[in-house]
Structure 1
Amino acid sequence: MSDHDPLPVGTMPDGSPILEARLEGDGLSVAVLSLGAVLRRLDVHGHPMVLGRDDPHDYIEKTPQFGATVGRFANRIAGGRFTLDGIAYDLSRNEAGRTHLHGGTRGFSRRNWTFAEVEARSLTLAYQSADGEEGYPGALDVTCTYAITGPGTLRATLTARTDKPTIVNLTNHSYFNLLLPPGGFPAPPIDDHVIEIPAESYLPVDEALIPTGTVAPVAGTRFDLRRPTRIGAQAFDHAFVLGRETLSEPRPVARVTAPGSAVALTVLATAPAVQFYDGTQLPKAGLGYAARTALCLEPEAYPDAPNHPDFPSATLRPGETYRQIIEYRFTRETTR
């Protein structure tokens, strides 16, 4: 056994072991679970940056996708239905019985992945999603690679290949707070965190948080985050539009700072949109977290894309490879 081998930390309901592997280097300490390919811990120079649970079993039933790799389709699909190549598909409806959210009842976040490769500064997990799982067509082979690529920088690379036409939209669902105490709990509010998202447009949503189909300019609205903006007590759970294409290399999609924190977070990604969620619903998890004590920045395809012909396609076909890169870059910030 090498120093990098994953170690058992819990057990799935079917008896299979939940494993954990760790990465260290360039000021980062990272812990990843086989369950959900979860980024369980991300510390910068010893300071925690993400919400995580000591008990890995909490990730099976309790946590709202803390640190998980989310799929087969991140975010929401209206009515749990979509049509592809003239065939209608019904998905599991795991949000109020009417919406398909983050891949369904178990999605990818409550499945036990396999550690395919573990090295000192990178690790790769794999998962095989069966044809028909959660209602999706096609068997899907998925990988998630976490790698420390430089000072304060963690890169997640997500790939997928299918044997039938299907839809794919993968992301990481970490909850960030730059002012977490040692141990990560209790988490203070993020109201004073300052966010910047270089998006000219956003996707308005209806009462079920489903995009209306309009791509609206942020100018003159509270969604104009092109300049550093205090988050405050406003409710954010919206997709910000960065473009229409998935890029080959990541570009900055968000920057977060906080008064009193010595660290700034820049998120870079290849996806055409980023969902900004301010953690308003965290108390519903029953884990002792108050509302808005962490935020999510989820690079992804446009939500509900299969039901909006004008949105960029999220379709993956046999012979193609889905690839999404998300990079978390932590830099020193002058304490204010």
Structure 2
Amino acid sequence: MVKVVEDIFGIAINPFTQKAQVVRRYTISNSSQLSVSVIQLGASIQSIKCADAYHRVQDVVLGFDDIAGYEAHSGRHFGCMLGRVADRVANAEFLMDRRKVRVSQNLQSKHQIDGGFIGFDRVIWELDKVLPDGITLKHVCQHGHEGYPGNLHVLVHYTIDDDNRFFIRVEARTDQTTPVNITNHCYFNLAGHKAGREGIVEHRLVIAADNTIETNEESLPTGRFSSVTNTVYDMRLPAFIGDRLRQFEQKPVQGFDVCYAIDKDFDANVLHFMGRFLHPDSGRYIEVHSNQPGLRFSTANDFPDDMRDEEPIKGKDCARYYQYSGFGLQAEKFPDTMNNLDFPTAFIMPNELYFHETIYRFGVQESWMCCATPEELEEMGVSIKDT
């Protein structure tokens, strides 16, 4: 049985009215010890609590106990929705209907990233309705906001079930042709949000992609795909994050921040297995399925570096978040897809429905399965995807 509980999380300044507004939190919980808390600011996932193999319940997403924390670290996008167009737009422009559309430049004063200066992460979303198994939040993005054409009506449905599946479904409609690429960005640590780097490096993961999106020195897509074979990005067989992070030590980017090409031929009607993320000591895992073609995977590389005595980000429950304290996931269209004709389109037409669905399935597994080799599991008839 699923229930929804509402409380007041704090007060924030509405970026459009510049007036103080109450921000509410909605906690959705089931009978299997899974609970998800969402706040109206950024439609952000503030907490996900789930049990481990020993029935201990812990919060497994990074975040804050108050509005001040989210506002102070808004650029790092803790748990929030990103849009109208998530990820990068090269030179903050694109061609549409034979004309050039220019949008705001909030990345290096040249490009756009994650919707501009006031993206969906800064919005105080309205409650549309309370559902039997969750909530629906809504926002109307006005024509011309951050340079985008069309009034875009957006609904975000957050629901869970008793099988410990957490559903994020996004619907949007426009009155003018416009690009749409909406996603959620959470930092996870299945050892517990306070476990830090020590917990992250223990994670074992699988990402079901043969390619990544190739990028240039400005982290902008070249329009080509890059094979993961014989690279640090090859996660098609289970690999430990810690082992892979050590391979970045002599590289310009000190960790993962890459978009995996899960499905080059995008079909919104097809759900794909994207990846599995396991913390062996606790037995907790997440399986991710989505109808989106890409999965951006990152490892909080730009968080304060404790090795250099930088001040930590102060999170929930007095937690200290440093570099590699969590891993970020966002199922999305490929970055800068409007400027790359070989990528799946992000444009929608008037009255056309934009639909995004991502499912996080939380579970636990026996400790012996966490430690078995792929060969041992194959002999026992267990799929690698199940480990």
Could you tell me the TM-score, scaled by structure 1's length? 0.93
- Local SS of the residue matching 1:267: strand
- The equivalent residue for 1:171 is 183
CA positional deviation for 1:188: 3.5
Measure, in 2, the Cα distance between the counterparts of 1:276 and 1:83. 28
Greater displacement, 185-194 / 168-177 = 185-194
1:151 aligns with 2:163: yes
User: Which amino acid in 1 is paired with 2:262?
Assistant: L
User: Which amino acid in 1 is paired with 2:196?
Assistant: A
CA positional deviation for 1:249: 4.4
Greater displacement, 85-94 / 163-172 = 85-94
Measure, in 1, the Cα distance between the counterparts of 2:285 and 2:216. 33
- The equivalent residue for 2:115 is 103
Measure, in 2, the Cα distance between the counterparts of 1:173 and 1:254. 15
1:217 aligns with 2:227: yes
8 Å Cα contact 1:24-1:120 kept in structure 2: no
CA positional deviation for 1:119: 3.4
CA positional deviation for 1:224: 1.4
Q: Normalized per residue, which structure has more helix?
A: 2
1:79 aligns with 2:91: yes
CA radius of gyration, larger in: 2
Could you tell me the TM-score, scaled by structure 2's length? 0.81
Measure, in 2, the Cα distance between the counterparts of 1:4 and 1:273. 31
Compute the RMSD of aligned alpha carbons: 1.8
- The equivalent residue for 1:247 is 268
Measure, in 1, the Cα distance between the counterparts of 2:5 and 2:92. 39
User: Which amino acid in 2 is paired with 1:77?
Assistant: V
Q: 2:258 is matched with which residue: 238, 254, 258?
A: 238
* Cα distance change of structure 1 residues 257 and 186 upon mapping to structure 2, 3 Å threshold: closer
Q: Structure 1: which 5+ residue stretches go unaligned?
A: none
Q: How does 1:1-336 map to 2 (within 5 A)?
A: 4=4, 6-13=6-13, 14-25=19-30, 26-45=32-51, 46-63=57-74, 64-180=76-192, 184-185=193-194, 187-189=196-198, 190-232=200-242, 233=245, 234=248, 235-243=255-263, 244-283=265-304, 287=313, 288-335=320-367
User: Which amino acid in 2 is paired with 1:33?
Assistant: I
CA positional deviation for 1:286: 5.7
- Local SS of the residue matching 1:188: helix
User: Which amino acid in 1 is paired with 2:146?
Assistant: E
CA positional deviation for 1:186: 5.6
Q: What per-residue deviation string (whole Å, max 9, x for no partner) do you get for residues 202-250 of structure 1?
A: 1111122111111122222222111111123232111111112133242
Measure, in 2, the Cα distance between the counterparts of 1:118 and 1:70. 22
Greater displacement, 253-262 / 168-177 = 253-262
* Cα distance change of structure 1 residues 4 and 194 upon mapping to structure 2, 3 Å threshold: closer
CA positional deviation for 1:187: 2.7
CA positional deviation for 1:61: 3.8
Q: What per-residue deviation string (whole Å, max 9, x for no partner) do you get for residues 306-332 of structure 1?
A: 111111111011020000101111111
Measure, in 2, the Cα distance between the counterparts of 1:95 and 1:115. 31
- Local SS of the residue matching 1:58: helix
User: Which amino acid in 1 is paired with 2:111?
Assistant: T
Measure, in 1, the Cα distance between the counterparts of 2:132 and 2:283. 27
- Local SS of the residue matching 2:338: helix
- Local SS of the residue matching 1:215: strand
CA positional deviation for 1:99: 2.3
User: Which amino acid in 1 is paired with 2:82?
Assistant: V
User: Which amino acid in 2 is paired with 1:39?
Assistant: I
8 Å Cα contact 1:165-1:318 kept in structure 2: yes
CA positional deviation for 1:40: 0.6
- Local SS of the residue matching 1:212: strand
Q: What per-residue deviation string (whole Å, max 9, x for no partner) do you get for residues 19-58 of structure 1?
A: 1111110321111111111111111132111101001232
- Local SS of the residue matching 2:160: strand
User: Which amino acid in 1 is paired with 2:293?
Assistant: P
User: Which amino acid in 2 is paired with 1:317?
Assistant: M
Q: Percent identity?
A: 30
8 Å Cα contact 2:277-2:285 kept in structure 1: yes
- Local SS of the residue matching 1:256: strand
CA positional deviation for 1:157: 0.2
Measure, in 2, the Cα distance between the counterparts of 1:313 and 1:193. 34
CA positional deviation for 1:74: 1.0
Greater displacement, 42-51 / 280-289 = 280-289
Measure, in 2, the Cα distance between the counterparts of 1:57 and 1:125. 22
User: Which amino acid in 2 is paired with 1:7?
Assistant: D
* Cα distance change of structure 1 residues 299 and 239 upon mapping to structure 2, 3 Å threshold: same
Measure, in 2, the Cα distance between the counterparts of 1:59 and 1:201. 33
